[in-house]
Structures are given as C-alpha cells and as structure tokens.
C-alpha cells in the first residue's frame, strides 16, 4: 500500500487507451465499473480532442457481481463491434475487473469475430500507464504483423526508384508534443532523403501496422512506448532500429548520423545545413548569465535524459538534480546522473521529489505538471518538459521538442522563465529600492511570486504542515521559522546574528536560499556558533557565486 | 412569474413514463465528491483506499490537478495487499499513521472505500473503529464508500454525510431548529443565514459544516431542509435520529429559492406577510438580473445528459424561468422522494434514468439541441459536431443556489450561446 497524493502515471489500462486513441480503426472494450470513464476526459480536455476515445466500458455494478458480469463483456463486445466496425479489437480489464476474473479477453476471443481480437492482460496492481501503452502497442503490432519472419524489402536504390523508408514508433495520444515531433522528424528525415512509411501508434490503422516490415528500419522516438515493439521487430523480422532520440542539437546531429549508418545515406550536408538557432543564441553574449544556472530535472526517462544533456552541453547550466518516475528507464537515467556526479532520483513519489527539489535549491526546475506545482510552491521558475501535463502544455502553435526547431523551442521555453541578465544585476545592486521588494519577479513575466521569504524556499517552512494554505501557510511558516531559530542553540547548527540575517536579506530571493545553505554549511564545518556579516562573506569567498 | 405563487404546470412530470437505460455510463463515481468535500470541511482529510485508477480519477476530475495542496490522498493497493487481508489491514494502519504524522492539523479522517476495496471485502468500517481507538481524542476516523459499483458521482457526498450523522451531537432541547443539508458555497450559506435571520428562523445549522470537528446537533426538533437533491441516505439517517424532513423544491432560481425558503418558513410558523416582505427585495433583484439572460435562452432547445442528480431542478429552472424547451432530461437515478416537489413543476419532457451513452448520443445528435448539458468526456466531441455544450461539472462547483445566484446560474447556460454568437472563425 502506497500513500499517494498525485500520481505521475495512471493505471496500465489508461496506457492501452492512449494507444487505442492514437490510432484509427481500433476499438477497445474495457471491462470496468462506472467511474472509469473519467479517463475519456484526459483526451477530450487536455488534448482538446474532438472525438471520444474509441473505448466501450462494460459499466458493471455491485448488483452484477456474483451474477453475470461475464455476459456484460460479451454484449459490450458485440455492440461495440457492430457499431464501430473496427479493423481490430482490443479487450481488457481495469483494476476492479481484474479482481473478479471474468477473463474478458478470452471471452472475446471465443466470439469468432471476423477481425483480430487482441486480449490485453495488464496487471493493474503492479504496473503503470507507460508499461500498459508499451504492452498494448506490442501485442497489437504482433497480432497485425504476425510471428512468421517476413522477407526484408529489396534495398532502396536510385535505380529501384525508391528512397529508404522508416517507421516512426512511439508517438501517442497524451505524449508530450508528439503531434509536432512527428512533423519535425518527418522533415528531418526528408532532409537526408529518407521517407516515412508508417507513424505508429499516432494516426496509424491496424492495416498500416501490418505493413510495418515494408520499411527499411524503425526510428524509436519514444522508448517508453516503442522499445518492446522495436526490439521484437528487430529480433523476429530483422528490422534495425535507430535509437538516438533527436531532442537537442547534439542529439539531433547524432540521430542523423545514426540514420546515415542504418539507411546508408549521406547526412553531413543535412547536418551542416541545420536550421537551429540554439547554438548561436547560446553563444551570444546575452546568454552569459545562463552560465552555471542550477537546474533540477525530473521527468519521464526520454525527456529527462535529453534535458540533462541539453542543460549541460547546450545551455551551460549546472544540473543539480536528475531523476525519473519511469522505472523502465532507471538504468539509463542512473548512468546519466553518475556522469554528472549526481545520484539519480528514481521514484514515483511526488513528496520525495518535492523534498529533493527543496534540498537542491535550484534556480530552474524542468519537470512535469507535478514539478510545476512544486516549483510554484517554492517560488522557482519552471518549464514543463514531459508528461503528465496540463492543457496549457498542448499549445496551438507548432511547438516540437525534437529536431532543429525543437531545439529552438526548448531554448525559448527554458530561458523565458528566468530573470534577464541585466535585470538580475540591478536587483543585486540596489536591493533597497522599494520596488525591488522580495518577490519581485522577472519583469517580462506577469505573475510575480508572493512572499518568497515565507515560502518553502526557507528551510524552516519545509517542515510546515501541509494542511494550511494561503495566509495560514504564511502564518505557520513564520511561526515555524521563529521556533526553529529559538531551538537552534540546542543543536550543533550555527545561529544567525541579526546583522547576518539582515545582510542575507540583501541577496535577492532567487539565490538567497543557496547563500543561506552555503553559509550554514560553511559555519558548521568550521564550528562557528554565530553567523555574522563576516561569516556570510567568508562563505561567499569560499564557495564563489 | 409571481415569485410567491407556485403554479404547477398543466402536465408535469410527476407521472411521466421514465426511459430506463442500462449500458455504458459516462458518469463519475462517488469518489469525485471528495473534490469539493475536502475544500468544504477544512479540517477533514479523505484517504481513498483503492487502486492507481482511483488516484488518477480524483486528480483528473479535479480540473486536472489544480490544487497543489490537496487534503485527500490515495492508499494505493499493490499486489501484496491483495494477497492477504491481514497484511492489508496492517498496511492501512501504517499508511494512516504516516499520514496523520504528517498532518497534525487533521481532526477528521475519512477512509473512503473504492471498487477494489469493496471487491476484496476490505472492511473499512472496522478499520475506522480500530484506528479510532488508537487516535481517540485526537482524530475522528470514519469510513464510507465512494465506489463506482455502488455510487454515482454526487452519491459520494450522500455517503460521506451519512457517515457523519451518527457523530452529530444530540440536540439539547426538542425545540425547533433548522438544519440545511448538502454542500453549499460559503457565500451562499452566508446569504441564506441572513435570510433566515430576517425571517426569524433559528437556530440554523449547515451540514456539512466548515469544520468537521464542529458538527451540528440533531434531535426531534430538527427540521431538515435539503439544499441538494442527492442526499437520500443522509436524510433517512437524520430522520432516524428524530429529525423531520421538509419537502421542497431545491433553491435554484427565484421560484425554487422562494419555495425552498417557504418550506422552512411554514415549518417555523412565519407569518405570510413577514415572509413576503423578507424575500421581496432579493427576489425582485434576482428577477431583474435574470431577465438579462432570458433573451439568450428563451425558446432554446436543451438536452441534459445524466451527471450530478441536479438535472431535474436545473431543467425546471431553465424551463420555467428562462423559457427553454426541454428535449430530454437525463438523471443517473430517479429518486422520487427527493424530487417529489420538483417533478410536478417540470414541464412534460422525456425523462431518462441511467444511461446507455451511445444510444443517448444518437438521440441527442438526431435532435440537434441548441445546448447540451453533459460531462467533460462528451463536451468537446459534441462541440466538434457543431453542438453547443455546457459542462455539467461546473454546475456542481459553482455557487448557483439562492436569489443572488439565480442570474449567475442562467449566465452559465447563456455563455455558450453568447460565445457561439460572437465567434466568426
């Protein structure tokens, strides 16, 4: 039993819904009680879809239990088939149906429908959404392609009249910016003479899945969903995969080189002709102030890995935290974290992530909708880089993450929440200007954060009970802060002198937390009992900015 | 409309044949009530004992994660919990300890049952008793079920309030006291308090209270006025404790509010003149504010999908005070006792109970209503087919009761019309 406030991933059947909703010609019959239809609104509201997800719920009730819930499955399958005439039917169970063991998939298989019926066995009490999506995509692909090894297509050639063909595997409904990434990667491949054969699951039909092996290779855009399928296509049908995910300038270059090797095409011209502004924007003097900005990254595996690389190599940030909720990609994220001298945070516990962010005192948080909440509470700038996300992260404009344009979008999206360089200097220099009150946000952003000093950026308030909100939080935090100072002499921690505390307040709030922590660490290491103005500056001299 | 007389329509819906449907339901389960209940009772915490689906449902239903600081959480069952109930109980105790350790501000904890906890027969009432002993004097621990196999959407509030009834202190006297049951926005409660005071009705208590630790009292003198049309179990439990249930329409619109207040006034023997003079001002103000939206709504054809149980009173308001014509009024379940005063007022229409969503969509699309009131899963798909919609969940989350909200309520329905009229894209 796990105490959970917010969850990063839904149950595995929601993953199956993401695959069904991505595609055309697929229908999903879900054995589930009333209430599970809530999942429809994820698609119709967050992604503003104009069609309902292609899902029929059996909607069993307490009075059906012990009676004939199995019959509900059979009639729901029959009605769904008759009404929607799908090319393939997925049949599965939500968490409650799993407990009553009606074997919905087997029942549907026994109905002799004239289309492929794919039973989904997705254990709800041990697995989660991305895994469910991955399994669903794999089983559906397997059903459509078949397990008998297919002949590889004749190698592409100018004489043969065709260019190399690739499938794009992984983009899905409720995937982060998938709609735009598909367009971007398609253009990227076209720029080196590669055509896209099938994009799946997003926009594909079961009939199109059946032709996957007609492509020369697969491009694995989102391993969380496509890895299992791509490995199977490689193992059984001999299809090679391109596994570099082209998020960021460096990764996009590597992606193209990998495509070049796998497809046998020349790519260097395409790389030289790249239209990304990120490299120049990052080198322009205005970006100097980005140097060493402390950034905390927590996301799904794919986007966390990409973000860590971009942050470090392409924007010159310092990564102070890296983690993922996607246990399936824990190994890769651990390796990346180790390379950065960090210990990866692998968890799906929102509270643990909040603690880690608070402790790391970053200047920018790159995360999901959950980290947006955390950053809001801590008054930190934040950009969303991965699902789960909110309706506001499905922009109307073309807004990819992948390819050259994706890098441009990322530069803008991550730099925008930060304070501009000269503005930051002015705030540093003239702390006493009455308009530079604590909480003066970046002037190009409308909503200025409120009362940062009593936010959780202050260590004392991290221990504040979470129940109180708004004014109550403020009051409690002040009280907690006072209590903490009073208690300080008892412990080994140094006590702030009033002069020291006053001087600390002259440091703008967005770096004050770090200054406070550094100074306290400095004092503790040296056994300094009282932190004075001098201690503050000695610590500053010791640690640098 | 006079505001004092309450003309029963020539052919109301009291004896209309009901279209009963059984099929896929596009309606939330009772867990969803936590989204407003945890805001209403500021010292209460809701711990759902369920699956990852339950956790995902509540955060999604809550306008997709709008609150950074929820007073609800889910104890997510894992494989190991399913293997043995004894361990499951131990695990629950551990989670409760962890939660209460973190939240010393909580005075009432609800253990909320879900579909999986019901199916594995995890006895939450016993768990609540067990834990109550451990936390006696500090935290009251109660349980109810919000499972989708037993409850629909707003029935979750009914189950929650029902669980609170045995905890209510006995009234010290048998003299009359008014108890308004059903969650209302704080501002609406304050307005009603002023009106009751004006009418000389008192003492007045609201249920649920703003602090769960301060429950209203109940006894033979208690007159219960339901503010929401989904409190069947709660009403019966209050009656079992000696309270009297006042029959009234619900306080939606000028007419509904007037009749609702009058039910209380009659029970408290308020002189008709005093009643008339007390409500005259607010009712007149409400009527003129309402008139502004009549133009947008008059003659419009409206279709209600089942959602919150508010459909019948809302339809009555729209038909009688805004001049809409009703194509179909769907309700998750029809509880004739709770809407006894509403049905005769509702102009004859198709009343449907339960749902078979595909068939209902067929009926809706075939009739092409000017406005369809439906849940979030259906709204955009219907808009994409050129139909204007109103999200029904907004009607549960907004202050819509009472005189001063009558026009706001009409505005919620008028806005999609006004928007459609503005847009040229």
Three-state secondary structure call for residue B296: helix
- The strands making up A55-57's β-sheet, listed across from edge to edge, are A55-57, A26-31, A88-93, A117-119
pLDDT given for residue A444 in this prediction: 59
Residues A459 and A407 placed together within one structural domain of the fold: no
pLDDT given for residue A456 in this prediction: 36
pLDDT given for residue A512 in this prediction: 80
With beta carbons less than 8 A apart as the criterion, state whether B373 and B351 touch. no
Chain B residues with CB under 8 Å of A40 CB are 26, 376-378
Place of tokens 């805004």: B322
Residue of A4, A7, A35, A473 to mutate for B, most B C-beta atoms under 10 A: A35
Q: CB-CB: which of B71, B119, B358 is closest to A96?
A: B119
User: What CATH number corresponds to the domain at position A533?
Assistant: 1.10.8.550
Secondary structure (DSSP) of A44-109: IIIS--SS--SEEE--B-GGGTTS-HHHHHHHHHHHHHHHH--SEEEEEE-HHHHHHT--HHHHHH
Whether A426 has a pLDDT exceeding 90, the answer reads no
pLDDT given for residue A320 in this prediction: 97
pLDDT given for residue A539 in this prediction: 87
Residues A195 and A306 placed together within one structural domain of the fold: no
pLDDT given for residue B128 in this prediction: 96
CA angle, B67 then B68 then B74, to 5°: 85
Domain that holds residue A111: 12-129+136-144
Whether A334 has a pLDDT exceeding 80, the answer reads yes
Chain A residues with CB under 8 Å of B159 CB are none
Residue A391 sits at the chain B interface (C-beta within 8 Å): yes
Residue of A nearest to B43 (CA): A467
Q: How close B286 gets to chain A, by Cα (Å)?
A: 33
Residues of chain B scoring pLDDT < 50: 1-4, 64
Residues B266 and B344 placed together within one structural domain of the fold: no
Residues A265 and A282 placed together within one structural domain of the fold: no
Pairing status of strand A2-4 against strand B72-76: antiparallel
Residues of A with active-site annotation: 286
Q: For residue A174, which of A18, A296, A368, A23 has the smallest C-alpha distance?
A: A18
Q: Is residue B157 part of a domain?
A: no
Chain B residues with CB under 8 Å of A78 CB are none
Residues B267 and B183 placed together within one structural domain of the fold: yes
What is the value of pTM for the model shown? 0.89
pLDDT given for residue A491 in this prediction: 43
Q: CB-CB: which of A10, A79, A469 is closest to B52?
A: A10
* pLDDT band, residue A324 (cuts 50/70/90): very high
In whole angstroms, what is the distance from residue A78 CA to residue B267 CA? Answer: 55
Q: CB-CB: which of A45, A99, A466 is closest to B119?
A: A99
pLDDT given for residue A469 in this prediction: 35
Residues A410 and A464 placed together within one structural domain of the fold: no
* pLDDT band, residue A6 (cuts 50/70/90): confident
Residue B59 sits at the chain A interface (C-beta within 8 Å): yes
Residues A267 and A198 placed together within one structural domain of the fold: yes
With beta carbons less than 8 A apart as the criterion, state whether B248 and B259 touch. yes
HSE, side-chain direction, 13 A CA sphere, residue B71: 24
With beta carbons less than 8 A apart as the criterion, state whether A203 and A22 touch. yes
Q: How close A393 gets to chain B, by Cα (Å)?
A: 12
Residues B405 and B316 placed together within one structural domain of the fold: yes
Q: CB-CB: which of A3, A39, A41 is closest to B99?
A: A3
Higher pLDDT, A540 or A216: A216
Three-state secondary structure call for residue B176: coil
**How many Cβ pairs within 8 Å bridge chains A and B?**
208
Residue A383 CA: distances (Å) to CA of A9, A176, A368, A372, A505: 19, 13, 8, 7, 27
Q: Is residue A3 part of a domain?
A: no
Q: Is residue A436 part of a domain?
A: no
Residues A263 and A283 placed together within one structural domain of the fold: no
Domain stops at, among A113, A144, A175: A144
pLDDT given for residue A453 in this prediction: 41
Residues B328 and B258 placed together within one structural domain of the fold: no
pLDDT given for residue A462 in this prediction: 35
Domain stops at, among A111, A144, A177: A144
State whether A5 and B381 contact (CB < 8 Å): no
Residues B267 and B363 placed together within one structural domain of the fold: no
pLDDT given for residue A452 in this prediction: 41
Chain B residues with CB under 8 Å of A51 CB are 381, 384
With beta carbons less than 8 A apart as the criterion, state whether B11 and B330 touch. no
Q: Is residue B303 part of a domain?
A: yes
Residues A477 and A376 placed together within one structural domain of the fold: no
Residues A288 and A400 placed together within one structural domain of the fold: yes
User: What CATH number corresponds to the domain at position B266?
Assistant: 3.40.50.1980
Tell me how far the alpha carbon of residue B399 is from its chain's centroid: 12
Tokens describing residue B278: 């007390």
Residues A367 and A295 placed together within one structural domain of the fold: yes
pLDDT given for residue B11 in this prediction: 74
Mean pLDDT value across chain A: 87
Tokens describing residue B61: 């239903």
pLDDT given for residue A432 in this prediction: 63
Chain A residues with CB under 8 Å of B74 CB are 3-4, 7
State ipTM: 0.93
Whether A376 has a pLDDT exceeding 80, the answer reads yes
Residues B94 and B189 placed together within one structural domain of the fold: no
Residues B206 and B304 placed together within one structural domain of the fold: no
In whole angstroms, what is the distance from residue B261 CA to residue B193 CA? Answer: 11
B19 bridge partner residues: B352
In whole angstroms, what is the distance from residue A204 CA to residue A187 CA? Answer: 18
Residues B196 and B105 placed together within one structural domain of the fold: no
Residues B251 and B312 placed together within one structural domain of the fold: no
Mean pLDDT for A243-262 is 98
Residue A65 sits at the chain B interface (C-beta within 8 Å): yes
Chain A 431-470, residues with CB within 8 Å of chain B CB atoms? 465-469
| Residue A337, φ and ψ in degrees, nearest 5 | -65, -45
Residue B28 sits at the chain A interface (C-beta within 8 Å): yes
Residue A246 DSSP code: -
Residue of B48, B60, B354 to mutate for A, most A C-beta atoms under 10 A: B60
Residues B299 and B412 placed together within one structural domain of the fold: yes
In whole angstroms, what is the distance from residue A289 CA to residue A287 CA? Answer: 5
Chain A 69-98, residues with CB within 8 Å of chain B CB atoms? 76, 79, 83, 94-96
Residue of B24, B41, B43, B360 to mutate for A, most A C-beta atoms under 10 A: B24
Q: CB-CB: which of A6, A38, A76 is closest to B57?
A: A38
User: Quick one: chain B helix, strand, coil %, rounded to 5?
Assistant: 45, 20, 35
Residue of A21, A32, A34 to mutate for B, most B C-beta atoms under 10 A: A34
With beta carbons less than 8 A apart as the criterion, state whether B157 and B38 touch. no
Q: Is residue B254 part of a domain?
A: yes
With beta carbons less than 8 A apart as the criterion, state whether B330 and B304 touch. yes
Chain B residues with CB under 8 Å of A33 CB are 29, 115, 147-149
Q: How close B92 gets to chain A, by Cα (Å)?
A: 7
Residues A268 and A188 placed together within one structural domain of the fold: yes
Q: Is residue A391 part of a domain?
A: yes
Tokens describing residue A207: 């009939």
Q: CB-CB: which of B59, B69, B95 is closest to A3?
A: B95
Q: Is residue B170 part of a domain?
A: no
State whether B51 and A95 contact (CB < 8 Å): yes
Residue of A nearest to B30 (CA): A35
pLDDT given for residue A457 in this prediction: 36
State whether B358 and A83 contact (CB < 8 Å): yes
Residues B303 and B411 placed together within one structural domain of the fold: yes
Domain count, chain B: 3
Q: Is residue A155 part of a domain?
A: no
Q: For residue A317, which of A386, A261, A263, A364 has the smallest C-alpha distance?
A: A364
Residues A295 and A376 placed together within one structural domain of the fold: yes
Chain A 119-148, residues with CB within 8 Å of chain B CB atoms? 123-126, 128
In whole angstroms, what is the distance from residue B320 CA to residue B310 CA? Answer: 16
A217: number of Cβ within 10 Å = 22
Q: Is residue B143 part of a domain?
A: yes
pLDDT digits 0-9 by tens, A151-181: 889 888 877 789 999 999 999 999 999 999 9
pLDDT digits 0-9 by tens, A87-97: 999 999 999 99
With beta carbons less than 8 A apart as the criterion, state whether A44 and B377 touch. yes
Mean pLDDT for A206-230 is 97
Secondary structure (DSSP) of B41-102: STTEEEEEEE-HHHHHHHHHHTTTT--SS-SEEEEE--HHHHH-HHHHHHHHHHHHHHHHHH
Secondary structure (DSSP) of B192-246: HHHHHHHHT---EEEES-SSTTSPPPBSTTEEEEESSTT-HHHHHHHHHTT-EEP
With beta carbons less than 8 A apart as the criterion, state whether A177 and A392 touch. no
- Size of chain B, expressed as the number of residues it contains: 425
User: What CATH number corresponds to the domain at position A28?
Assistant: 3.40.50.1980
Mean pLDDT for A396-418 is 96
pLDDT given for residue B106 in this prediction: 93
Residues A283 and A411 placed together within one structural domain of the fold: yes
- Work out the burial of residue A285: count CB atoms within 10 Å of its CB; fewer than 13 is exposed, 13-18 middle, 19 or more buried: exposed
Q: Is residue A443 part of a domain?
A: no
Domain count, chain A: 4
Q: CB-CB: which of B64, B377, B383 is closest to A52?
A: B377
Domain that holds residue B201: 177-274
With beta carbons less than 8 A apart as the criterion, state whether B25 and B152 touch. yes
* pLDDT band, residue A490 (cuts 50/70/90): very low
């Amino acid at each position: 039993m796990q105490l959970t406030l917010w969850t990063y991933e839904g149950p595995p059947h929601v993953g199956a819904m993401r695959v069904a909703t991505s595609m055309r010609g697929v229908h999903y019959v879900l054995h589930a009680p009333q209430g599970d239809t809530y999942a429809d609104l994820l698609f119709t509201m967050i992604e503003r879809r104009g069609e309902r997800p292609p899902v029929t719920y059996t909607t069993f009730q307490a009075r059906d239990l012990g009676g004939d819930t199995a019959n509900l499955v059979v009639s729901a399958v029959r009605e769904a088939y008759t009404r929607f005439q799908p090319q393939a039917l997925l049949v599965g169970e939500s968490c409650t149906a799993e407990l009553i063991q009606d074997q919905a998939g087997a029942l549907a298989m026994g109905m002799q429908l004239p289309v492929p019926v794919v039973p989904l066995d997705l254990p709800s009490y041990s697995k989660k959404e991305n895994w469910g999506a991955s399994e669903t995509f794999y089983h559906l692909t397997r059903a459509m392609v078949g397990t008998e090894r297919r002949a590889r297509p004749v190698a592409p050639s100018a004489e043969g009249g065709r260019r190399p063909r690739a499938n794009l595997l992984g983009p899905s409904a409720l995937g982060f910016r998938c709609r735009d990434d598909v367009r971007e990667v398609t253009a990227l491949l076209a720029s080196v003479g590669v055509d896209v054969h099938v994009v799946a699951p997003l926009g594909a039909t079961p009939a199109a899945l059946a032709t996957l092996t007609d492509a020369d290779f697969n491009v694995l855009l989102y391993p969380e969903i496509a890895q299992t399928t791509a490995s199977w296509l490689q193992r059984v049908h001999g299809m090679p995969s391109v596994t570099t995910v082209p998020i960021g300038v460096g990764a996009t270059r590597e992606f193209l080189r990998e495509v070049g090797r796998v497809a046998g095409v020349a790519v260097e011209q395409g790389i030289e002709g790249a239209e990304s502004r990120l490299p120049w924007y990052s080198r322009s003097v205005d970006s100097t102030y980005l140097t060493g900005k402390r950034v905390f990254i927590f996301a799904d595996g794919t986007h966390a890995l990409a973000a860590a690389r971009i942050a470090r190599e392409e924007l010159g940030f310092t990564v102070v935290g890296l983690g993922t909720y996607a246990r399936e990609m824990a190994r890769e994220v651990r390796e990346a974290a180790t390379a950065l001298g960090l210990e990866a945070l692998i968890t799906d516990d929102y509270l643990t992530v909040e603690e880690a962010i608070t402790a790391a005192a970053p200047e920018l948080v790159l995360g999901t909708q959950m980290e947006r909440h955390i950053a809001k509470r801590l008054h930190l700038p934040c950009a969303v880089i991965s699902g789960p996300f909110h309706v506001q992260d499905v922009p109307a404009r073309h807004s990819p993450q992948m390819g050259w344009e994706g890098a441009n979008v990322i530069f803008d999206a991550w730099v925008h929440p930060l304070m501009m360089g000269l503005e930051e200097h002015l705030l540093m220099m003239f702390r006493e200007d009455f308009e530079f009150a604590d909480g003066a946000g970046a002037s190009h952003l409308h909503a200025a954060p409120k009362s940062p000093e009593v936010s959780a950026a202050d260590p004392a308030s991290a221990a504040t009970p979470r129940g109180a909100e708004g004014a109550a939080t403020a009051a409690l935090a002040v009280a907690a802060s006072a209590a903490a100072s009073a208690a300080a002499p008892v412990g080994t921690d140094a006590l702030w002198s009033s002069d020291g505390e006053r001087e600390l307040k002259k440091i703008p709030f967005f770096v004050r937390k770090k200054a406070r922590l550094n100074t306290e660490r400095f004092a503790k290491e040296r056994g300094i009992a009282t932190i004075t103005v001098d201690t503050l500056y000695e610590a500053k001299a010791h640690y640098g900015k | 409309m006079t505001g004092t007389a309450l003309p029963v329509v020539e052919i109301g819906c009291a004896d209309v044949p009901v279209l009963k449907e059984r099929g896929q339901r596009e309606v939330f389960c009772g867990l969803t009530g936590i989204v407003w209940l945890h805001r209403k009772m500021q010292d209460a915490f809701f711990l759902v004992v369920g699956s990852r689906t339950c956790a995902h449902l509540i955060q999604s239903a809550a306008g997709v994660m709008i609150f950074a600081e929820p007073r609800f959480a889910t104890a997510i069952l894992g494989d190991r919990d399913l293997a043995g109930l004894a361990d499951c109980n131990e695990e629950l105790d551990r989670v409760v300890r962890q939660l209460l350790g973190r939240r010393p501000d909580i005075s009432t904890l609800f253990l909320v049952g879900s579909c999986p906890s019901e199916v594995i027969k995890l006895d939450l009432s016993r768990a609540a008793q067990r834990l109550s002993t451990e936390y006696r004097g500090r935290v009251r621990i109660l349980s109810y079920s919000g499972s989708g196999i037993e409850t629909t959407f707003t029935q979750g509030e009914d189950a929650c309030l029902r669980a609170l009834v045995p905890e209510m202190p006995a009234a010290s006297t048998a003299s009359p006291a008014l108890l308004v049951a059903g969650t209302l926005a704080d501002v609406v409660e304050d307005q009603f308090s002023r009106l009751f005071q004006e009418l000389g009705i008192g003492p007045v208590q609201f249920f649920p209270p703003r602090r769960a630790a301060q429950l209203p009292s109940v006894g033979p003198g208690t007159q219960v006025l339901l503010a929401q049309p989904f409190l069947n179990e709660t009403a019966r439990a209050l009656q079992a404790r000696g309270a009297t249930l006042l029959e009234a329409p619900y306080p939606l619109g000028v007419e509904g509010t007037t009749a609702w207040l009058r039910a209380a006034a009659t029970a408290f023997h308020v002189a008709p003149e005093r009643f008339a003079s007390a409500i005259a001002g607010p009712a007149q103000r409400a009527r003129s504010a309402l008139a502004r939206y009549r133009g947008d709504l008059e003659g419009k054809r409206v279709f209600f999908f089942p959602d919150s149980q508010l459909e019948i009173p809302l339809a009555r308001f729209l038909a009688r005070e805004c001049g809409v014509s009703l194509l179909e009024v769907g309700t998750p379940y029809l509880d004739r006792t709770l809407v006894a005063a509403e049905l005769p007022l509702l102009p004859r229409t198709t009343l449907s109970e339960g749902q078979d969503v595909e068939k209902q969509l067929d009926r809706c699309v075939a009739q092409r209503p000017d406005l369809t009131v439906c849940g979030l899963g259906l709204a955009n798909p219907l808009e994409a087919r050129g139909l204007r919609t109103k999200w029904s969940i907004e009607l549960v989350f907004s202050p819509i009761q009472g005189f001063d909200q009558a026009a706001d309520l009409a505005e919620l329905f008028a806005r999609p019309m006004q928007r459609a009229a503005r847009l040229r894209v």
